[in-house]
Chains A and B, each alone.
Chain A
């Protein structure tokens, strides 16, 4: 599948295995401001504004009222709106219900399609690979390059297949799958690779779940992650605002059905996991690879043979203020964050609401929907009422506390149960300690005040 998409987008061959790759969709957020500025100063313009789409997600506050914390952050949001207007780029801005996290709204609007190349100046662009697209994150200079030329010079990566066969147990979801994958291959395991996820457990997943899996490919080191399109994919896309219609839809569908990897396709690396072996999973350290089943204990660095790994474990435990041997379910949390491009879609909110319904959050807890449309849909289902009754803060769409770039961070030394994707030092605020987990597990932590095996709450 990867090779089929790659070869159909090569504009020119360069030296050293480089290809000039055509980009079908370019998604933009406030961070593109720097690239727009350089483009403008160079006297260049966006070559294909019709293939570029912008939204404000990183810098926008998710509390009602003023969109930005201060003038400097406000300027980032205004600058994106100004540049998008000047270049005639469709912009889902503040006040538009279609606004939301760039990796949530791309699929939601039908901009993300099978077989396309899609880039965005954000490392979680792999999310879109859930549709059988080649989607990857790029830096600011590459954003500017796509703006000016609609292409990128890329060297073809290797391709790794990760097969997950079998059935997931109760209380186990897509987030647990990807955390288990990262724990298995390591945070550098996918460096230099695109990952194709396959197997019956992946095929059984909804699009929301597949997006969660592909989203965290970068946490496994891979710039791109992808899943072959199938009936689930087509059913999700049909009728979306920017998806093809009528004859175009029929034409597209015929082409998409030829995209999946051929039987017997050879991969540079093959990894397999048994779905039945995956438990609800949480991180204990400061790298996404520091993940364990919730039934486990904080590991002991002294039992680690590799000296480099031992040092980083020691440092992680010092930062996380955890003692080796502590049962993970003994770890008390100060705050819960349900949101981010990993887990802010309608199904994520439904799953969390099922756990929360009729209970009370015992620590401050936020729900930040991935888009304005998801927020409205959740409200139609009454999810907001469930969360509010439980004492959760029901907020506006945005990246929020996943990255804290809008100023929404936790307090120093706070411990956060978070459905986001990174538990790096300082990620959710200086000195803040992050434990990554699924929406169900974060909801469980909110109502118990500690890391909790959601399976013990009986829903």
Chain B
């Protein structure tokens, strides 16, 4: 997993609430291996492209100032629905490293952390104001600093955000979580012995 520390980049606003992971990556692409040719085009595919493969000019990421945005500022419950981690893989394939939202689908939220994509939760009115700034100043950049836990929108007024210290540390270091947990092997083995004694009916 790549680490995340600090980023200044173009940010794009997505105003609709409840953007589900089916919309972020349609089901027919899920069998493709991560990094397959054209993986980046799977992102928002059916709202981003016409049937003939041409771009839909009205979609925000197809508009010149927002093209290549690495920060998305979204609305309530972004990433709801299916657990498909490919939604984050598709964001990552497009260079998106930060998703700023009032709320995120719980599984999508977790999947972001596993892939070096920083999810930032801020109050709805703060996020709505950031989206308004990005609409007013197309192509404006924002800065996200994980160490300091701040987001600086185009207006320049830095906002502090809260993040779970465990997830923060994992993101800052880009550490492999499985390797970390394998370091807990003694604790896992001890738990298993105790658990099997307490709930012997769970043995298959």
Contact = CB atoms under 8 A, between A and B. Distances in A.
Interface of A: 8-9, 11-12, 14-18, 20, 22, 24, 31, 34, 37, 42, 44, 50-51, 59, 72-73, 75-76, 113, 115-116, 121-123, 137-142, 144-145, 148-151, 153, 155, 157, 187-188, 191-192, 218-219, 221-223, 242, 244, 248-249, 251-252, 255, 287, 289, 308-309, 311-312, 315, 403-405, 407, 422, 424-427, 430
B110 A424 contact: no
Contacts of B82: 122-123, 403, 422
Contact of B204 (A51, A155, A425): A51
Contacts of A188: 17-18, 76-77, 80, 103
18 contacts: A8-B198, A9-B195, A16-B167, A20-B187, A72-B31, A139-B110, A141-B85, A157-B106, A191-B104, A192-B106, A218-B81, A219-B81, A221-B105, A221-B106, A315-B16, A403-B82, A422-B82, A426-B23
Contact of B182 (A73, A140, A148, A405): A148
B201 A244 contact: yes
Interface of B: 15-18, 20, 22-23, 26-28, 30-31, 33-34, 46-47, 51, 75-77, 80-86, 88, 103-107, 110-111, 114-115, 128, 164-167, 169, 177-178, 181-182, 184, 187-188, 191-192, 195, 198-202, 204
Contact of A17 (B51, B164, B201): B164
Residue in B83, B107, B181, B195 with the greatest tally of chain A CB atoms within 10 Å: B83
Nearest to A125: B83
B204 A308 contact: no
Contacts of B88: 139
Contacts of A407: 28
Contacts of A42: 178
B159 to A, nearest CB: 20
* Nearest 3 Cβ contacts at the A-B interface: A244-B201, A139-B85, A188-B77
Contacts of A151: 181, 184, 188
A187 B18 contact: yes
B77 A16 contact: no
Nearest to A22: B191
A405 B198 CA distance: 41
B38 to A, nearest CB: 14
A122 B191 contact: no
A308 B76 contact: yes
Contacts of A149: 178, 181-182, 184, 188
Contacts of A8: 195, 198-199
A191 B105 contact: yes
Contacts of A20: 181, 184, 187-188
Given A221-B106, A424-B23, A187 B80 contact: yes
Contact of B22 (A138, A144, A422): A422
A153 B166 contact: yes
Nearest to A431: B46
A145 B181 contact: yes
Residue in A75, A121, A140, A422 with the greatest tally of chain B CB atoms within 10 Å: A140
B200 to A, nearest CB: 6
A24 B188 contact: no
B200 A248 contact: yes
Contacts of B22: 422, 424-427
A116 B198 CA distance: 12
Given A12-B187, A17-B164, A405-B30, 12 more contacts: A9-B195, A18-B166, A37-B33, A42-B178, A44-B178, A137-B107, A142-B110, A149-B188, A151-B188, A221-B80, A309-B17, A311-B15
A308 B75 contact: yes
A76 B80 contact: no
Contacts of A255: 199
A268 B104 CA distance: 19
B30 A31 contact: yes
A284 B22 CA distance: 18
Contacts of A425: 22-23, 46-47
Nearest to B104: A191
Contacts of B191: 11, 22
A249 B17 CA distance: 47
B31 A145 contact: no
Nearest to A59: B31
Residue in B80, B84, B115 with the greatest tally of chain A CB atoms within 10 Å: B80
Contacts of A44: 178
Given A12-B184, A22-B195, A44-B178, A123 B201 contact: no
